[in-house]
Amino acid sequence: MTDVLLAPLAQPRAEGIAALHGAIARRRAMVLLAGSLGLVASLVLDVATGPAFLSPADVVRSLAGMAGERSVDAIVWSIRLPVAFVALVVGAALGLSGAIMQTILNNPLASSYTLGVSAGAGFGAALVIVIGVALPVPEAYAVPVMAFLFAGLACAGVYAIGQTRDASPEMLVLGGIALLFLFQALLSLLQFVASPEALQQIVFWLFGSLQKATWGKLAIILLVLVACVPCLMRDAWRLTALKLGDERARGLGVDVRRLRLRCFALVSALTGVAVAFVGTIGFIGLVAPHVARMLVGEDQRSFLPASALFGALLLSLASIASKTVLPGAIVPIGIVTSLVGVPFFVWLTVSCRRAFW
Amino acid sequence: MKVAISQLAVRYGATQVIDGLDLSAGPGEILAILGPNGSGKSSLVKAVAGLVPHAGSITFDGEARRPGRIGYMPQDIGARAALTVLETVLLGRLGRLGLRVGEADLAAVDAVLTELGLHRLAARYLGELSGGQRQLVFLAQALAAEPRLLMLDEPISALDVRHQLEVLEIVRRLTVARRLTTLVVLHDLNMAARFADAVAVIRNGRLARFGAPADVIDEAMLAQVFGVEASVALAGDGRPNVTPLRASRH
């Protein structure tokens, strides 16, 4: 540095930094490519797995329109493919919403599941199940709509509590935890007063299940996901700046309050639509961003897509596990993600570089 | 750029932290802001950066609108994020960055990393750096904005004495060469005396003294504002040199 002091102002020497920037970008692109290939393999295996045995080759032939057997096409296209695709898009939505939460709250424990948004959706769904007979619309529509609305309500509640202290990350996290306990208590109350049939329905909904997936539901979730991604990517640098703390981000010209508000709206939409159709699925939103962070860092241009990608991959793998752990039975996906997610999460946190959080 | 501050007042809730402060700084000039802990130094810089609500007027070349190119380095250096030094410094150019980073932005970052001797750290993660290294990285971030107005809040507090000298030398050189207006909050009176063109001493949110270092830094001011008995000698270049002796008894 001292030599530099004696020299005239440093001339740009961009090839070194440009080369480094290019190398970092290429390495991250390779991670995303490897994850995508894993995703395709997992999708094929997920479709192949189930009560009726299909080989991955059968699945690939059917997907390519060359199955030869109608029964194989029927199983692949009508039954298993919507479920496998819904696992991907729900996993992506949960991974993405977890990544946003962890970034805007600067907290590695933040996710829709740990901060009450999923619990809010669960309460909304349970409310419909308990008072279902009194509603003018069929329960099949009312449950996802109310789950979606209550996810939004929970998000709004967290933000409103956070607002009391300038929407600081600490206050927002405390607000989220308060709402988590509130919705869990309300849910317990509903379970207490529910009829045995309603109680069974609530419990099953809360387990989370991909088995009711349809092409229509897939389209809705995909639509929300596709709408949210460009909004997020437009804010990628601003979100990266937020990782350096509120004051520094403001100093760099970020309107922190509006950015958080925008992001909360997106989290609400992503979590709401994911949970509405498949029930509460834990740990994906918490774990996927940690995997992404370890592999690509927190430059949000890579971190957000990687979180979505690994969320999709994790839920797809969990879907395969849910059909194979108990022969002849499909274990609810929410149980699998939690059972597999906990040890995986512990391993991740233990092995994660101290420098990251 | 001429920065003129008139009757500035900053209040946090019921606490008035700055009250009726008048100051000015010009291009090619370093204004050091001195004062005891809690006197309002950081709040003054934040008000100029537009980060806290305030009363009174702050003008930039006679206009109330802040210039786009401001380099601001806050006091806090405790950020823990999985961001490389390169990405952190690039953020200094936030307003100009697209999803694909342009060559001009990379060239500007390269220049500032070279300037501060941080090239070898470019691929390292922030959390892997020492406090002093992080302070240099955040200084690089402020400089990467290619600012016309540079505001540094205690930029050398975590640095060893050699790096303190080197950083202030660089700030001095860039201030002169690029005609920057530089506001720097310092605790080290001798560094302020050595590198600043003007010194503003703040006490309880009010301006206690303002002028050239030799006119401001004297034994009376140190006793009155800092509560310190000290001897002040003028060096060969006419700048004051402070030797603190003991804390005064109140």
Asked if the structure places residue A338 within a domain, the reply is yes
Q: What is the pLDDT of residue A352?
A: 66
Segment (H or E) for A84:
helix A81-104
Asked if the structure places residue A13 within a domain, the reply is no
B79: three-class secondary structure by DSSP = coil
Measured distance CA(A307)–CA(A311) in Å, rounded? 6
Asked if the structure places residue A330 within a domain, the reply is yes
Q: Looking at beta carbons, which pairs linking B197-200 to residues 24 or more positions away fall under 8 Å?
A: B197/B29, B197/B30, B197/B31, B198/B25, B198/B29, B198/B30, B198/B31, B198/B32, B199/B31, B199/B32, B199/B33, B199/B34, B200/B23, B200/B31, B200/B32, B200/B33, B200/B34
**Mutation site for A-interface testing, chosen from B88, B91, B143, B163 by largest number of A Cβ within 10 Å:** B91
Q: What is the pLDDT of residue A207?
A: 86
Task: Summarize pLDDT for A204-230 with one digit per residue, the tens.
Answer: 888 888 888 899 999 999 999 999 999
Domain, as residue range, for A105: 23-346
Nearest to B3 by CA among B43, B71, B63: B63
Look-up of token digits 């506001």: B183
- Which one is predicted more confidently, A52 or A25? A25
Whether B250 shows a pLDDT value over 60: the answer reads no
Measured distance CA(B74)–CA(B134) in Å, rounded? 12
- CATH at residue A28: 1.10.3470.10
Measured distance CA(B4)–CA(B25) in Å, rounded? 7
Asked if the structure places residue A265 within a domain, the reply is yes
| Residue A132 burial by Cβ neighbours in a 10 Å radius (0-12, 13-18, 19+) | middle
In this complex, how many residue pairs, one in chain A and one in chain B, have their CB atoms less than 8 Å apart?
A: 132
B93 DSSP assignment: G
Asked if the structure places residue A324 within a domain, the reply is yes
Are B76 and A245 a contacting pair at CB < 8 A? yes
Write down the mean pLDDT value for chain B.
93
Distance from CA of B13 to the nearest CA of A (A): 12
User: Is-contact B85 B137, C-beta < 8 A?
Assistant: yes
Whether A11 shows a pLDDT value over 60: the answer reads no
Asked if the structure places residue A12 within a domain, the reply is no
Number of domains in chain A: 1
Residues of chain B contacting A11 with CB distance shorter than 8 Å: 111
Residue A15's pLDDT band, with cuts at 50, 70 and 90, is low
Asked if the structure places residue A1 within a domain, the reply is no
Whether B224 shows a pLDDT value over 80: the answer reads yes
Measured distance CA(A198)–CA(A192) in Å, rounded? 10
Asked if the structure places residue A263 within a domain, the reply is yes
Nearest to B220 by CA among B242, B237, B205: B242
Burial A215-248 (b: 16+ CB within 10 A, else e): eebbebbbebbeebbeebeebbbbbbbbbbbbbb
| ipTM for the predicted complex | 0.90
**Mutation site for A-interface testing, chosen from B80, B112, B156 by largest number of A Cβ within 10 Å:** B80
**Which tokens hold the place of A124?**
């909304």
Does B220 touch chain A if contact means CB atoms closer than 8 Å? no
